Structure 1
Amino acid sequence: MAPTTSRALPLAATLLTGTVALYMALVAFGNITDFGTNQQFVRHVLAMDTTFRDEDLMWRAITTGWVQDTAYVAIIVWETVAALLLVYATWLWARRHHARARRLSTYGLVMVMLLFGAGFVAIGGEWFAMWQSEDWNGLDSATRVFLLSGVVLLVDHLPLRQDGSAT
């Protein structure tokens, strides 16, 4: 196999993992430095105050401020850990430590997918009926990030030969 072809897959894994790492780092940084903006998002989603206000669902609402803020801080911590894992995994991909890079990429990407899939799509979207809100609906964004992370996870797990090149 030609040298450029044999290095194409690890290069793709490096760049794509780095893309998600950059995204997550920017998200975490934004949430830390502009705490109030997405804090309001989390508060409104958990309070369900812009949903259809169906009596059969409203018992799910969380309106206690400190509980809402604790959930938001937990999200930021999760984002930060995922970003750090993905930054390190990107560095490992670039240094051709493919087995370690793949393992850490998997951890980081699954963390992102759990946050955006389980956290925002399932819990926020369905449990807290975020889909009903015209103002505080992050389902499209969450789905995009979930799918991007899934594609990168698949690329990172494409088979490599023992020398680290594509099979």
Structure 2
Amino acid sequence: MNNLSTDEIVRYSKVILMAFISLFGILVMFSNFTDYASNYEYVGHVLSMDTSLKNPNIRYRAITSPMLHHRIYWLIITLEALYTSFCLVGTYQLYRKIKQSAADFHEAKKYAIIGLLIAIFIYYFCLQVIGVEWFDMDNSEAWNAKDWARHIVDFIFPLMIYIALKIEQ
């Protein structure tokens, strides 16, 4: 451990943390492909708003078409695959440039940052903004992923800041 400088440890930590979020993406995709039915059921209930408090003033927002449920779910799966792919490539690029100059290492961050931005779009904008604020997901006792999504964003957003910072030399 004494052979590594602080700058090297910072670089390795960025690679390792990107590997963590990449593994998370792989596990989420695996779950979506191997347990499509239960994850589809979740999307269907949120979009249908059939388990929320049934506020009549917002019922017009419900999407009850199973065809649209499938399409929206596949859009989510596609975005998850995209963010995971970018994060994996970003992890590889960071690792590949770990011994290079600070400028080269910093330039290698672009795929990681793009992947993290897509992940924030999914877990913050899609789930928290659209799911909670538009489809009233937080008022469903059975199909509420607000806290789950918030915990993911609570990891991803600071990670994106940490990755983007040019602190290594």
Match for 2:115 among 88, 108, 122?
A: 108
Which residue of structure 2 aligns with residue 37 of structure 1? 38
Query: What is the total number of aligned residue pairs between the two structures?
Result: 161
Which residue of structure 1 aligns with residue 65 of structure 2? 64
Pairwise mapping of residues 54-93 of structure 1 onto structure 2 (< 5 A)? 54-93=55-94
More moved, 5-14 vs 60-69:
5-14
Cα offsets for 1:47-76 (capped at 9, x unmatched): 000111111010000000000110000000
CA distance in 1, matches of 2:127, 2:74: 15
Letter aligned with residue 80 of structure 2? E
Match of 2:88, SS state, is helix
C-alpha contact 2:106 2:166 (8 A) present in aligned 1: no
C-alpha contact 1:24 1:79 (8 A) present in aligned 2: yes
Give me the identity figure in percent.
Answer: 27
CA distance in 2, matches of 1:123, 1:6: 40
Question: What's the offset of the Cα at 1:136?
Answer: 0.2
Question: What's the offset of the Cα at 1:33?
Answer: 1.6
CA distance in 2, matches of 1:16, 1:134: 33
Match of 1:14, SS state, is helix
Cα offsets for 1:72-131 (capped at 9, x unmatched): 000001000110110111111111152343101110000000100000000001100001
Q: Which one has more relative contact order, counting CA pairs under 8 Å at least 6 apart?
A: 1
Question: What's the offset of the Cα at 1:141?
Answer: 0.6
Return the TM-score normalized by structure 1: 0.92
CA RMSD of aligned residues (A): 1.3
Return the TM-score normalized by structure 2: 0.91
C-alpha contact 1:89 1:100 (8 A) present in aligned 2: no
Structure 1: where are the runs of 5+ without partners? 161-165
Which residue of structure 2 aligns with residue 123 of structure 1? 130
CA distance in 2, matches of 1:39, 1:5: 45
Match of 2:165, SS state, is coil
Question: What's the offset of the Cα at 1:4?
Answer: 2.1
